[in-house]
């Protein structure tokens, strides 16, 4: 969620967006009490669809071109959809596999229904126009729709650092932005054992001989 305070001018893109977009489809577990709410295969990838209540399920049916599902006795209520989960989820995926992820994103646009493309890391960082988007409802009770656009490149969410051993590498930058200061990555990620001596000596107070002994026995790197 993008938020701003009057004093410090803090902006924060909520973690939920990137977490949903980066979840591998095979690891996205459907919600036991809500059907449908999971990722489905498309012609070229995966898309997350959430029909959290009867109204949203109706929207999904219309956008999928299956309005008759709304009056199907097996799917009229969420409890019935949960009972007939396997059948309904199979029918949905049969429909979603007929179009590309991009086509479905266009179809679901401004529908008020929870949906999102499921991207891998490269797909997110190299997203068209440098943005990643997800549309979902903050409150099912109030049916308040919120659209979030995380400007990955424009917000400097990916930065390049020079690693002394590995050379230039791209890293995910801090999501917190301030008006009067610029949080940043101070050091590149360490190599294996790079700070072993420093931690053992300066933090744990071990002597050089103790450190050498630990290394000789293969206890530390």
Q: Structural domain boundaries of the chain?
A: 11-151, 190-221
Average pLDDT for residues 27-50, to the nearest whole number?
86
The mean-pLDDT minimum among 71-80, 114-123, 199-208 falls in 114-123
Confidence of residue 153 (pLDDT cuts 50, 70, 90): low
Superfamily name and number for 11-151 = formyl-coa transferase, domain 3 (3.30.1540.10)
Inter-CA distances, 151 with 2, 65, 137, 195, Å: 11, 32, 20, 34
Inter-CA distances, 5 with 2, 8, 9, 11, 12, Å: 10, 6, 5, 8, 10
pLDDT value of residue 213: 93
Taking 80 as the threshold, does the pLDDT of residue 73 lie above it? yes
Contact partners, residue 10, CB within 8 Å, separation at least 6 = 3, 4, 176, 177, 178, 179
Give tens-digit pLDDT for 170-211: 888 887 778 788 888 888 999 989 899 999 999 999 999 999
Q: Could you tell me which residue, 202 or 32, shows the higher pLDDT?
A: 202
In terms of C-beta density within 10 A (0-12 exposed, 13-18 middle, 19 or more buried), how is residue 36 classed?
buried
pLDDT value of residue 127: 58
Confidence of residue 126 (pLDDT cuts 50, 70, 90): low
Q: Which two tokens stand for residue 61?
A: 């049916």
Q: Could you tell me which residue, 4 or 34, shows the higher pLDDT?
A: 34
């Amino acid at each position: 969620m993008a938020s701003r305070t009057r004093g410090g001018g803090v902006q924060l893109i909520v973690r939920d967006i990137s977490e949903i977009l980066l979840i591998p489809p095979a690891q996205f577990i459907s919600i036991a009490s809500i059907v449908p709410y999971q990722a489905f295969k498309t012609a070229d990838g995966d898309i997350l669809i959430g029909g959290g209540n009867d109204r949203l399920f109706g929207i999904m049916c219309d956008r999928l071109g299956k309005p008759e599902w709304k009056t199907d006795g097996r799917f009229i209520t969420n409890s019935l959809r949960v009972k007939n989960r396997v059948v309904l989820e199979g029918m949905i995926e049969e429909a979603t596999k007929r179009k590309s992820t991009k086509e479905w994103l266009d179809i679901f646009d401004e529908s008020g229904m929870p949906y999102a493309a499921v991207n891998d890391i490269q797909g997110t960082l190299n997203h068209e126009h440098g943005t990643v988007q997800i549309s979902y409802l903050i409150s099912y009770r109030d049916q308040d729709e919120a659209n979030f656009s995380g400007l990955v490149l424009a917000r400097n969410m990916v930065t390049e650092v020079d690693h002394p051993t590995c050379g230039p590498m791209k890293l995910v930058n801090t999501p917190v932005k301030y008006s009067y200061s610029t949080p940043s990555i101070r050091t590149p990620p360490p190599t294996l054992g790079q700070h072993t001596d420093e931690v053992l000596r300066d933090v744990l107070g071990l002597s050089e001989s103790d450190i050498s002994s630990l290394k000789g026995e293969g206890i530390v790197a």
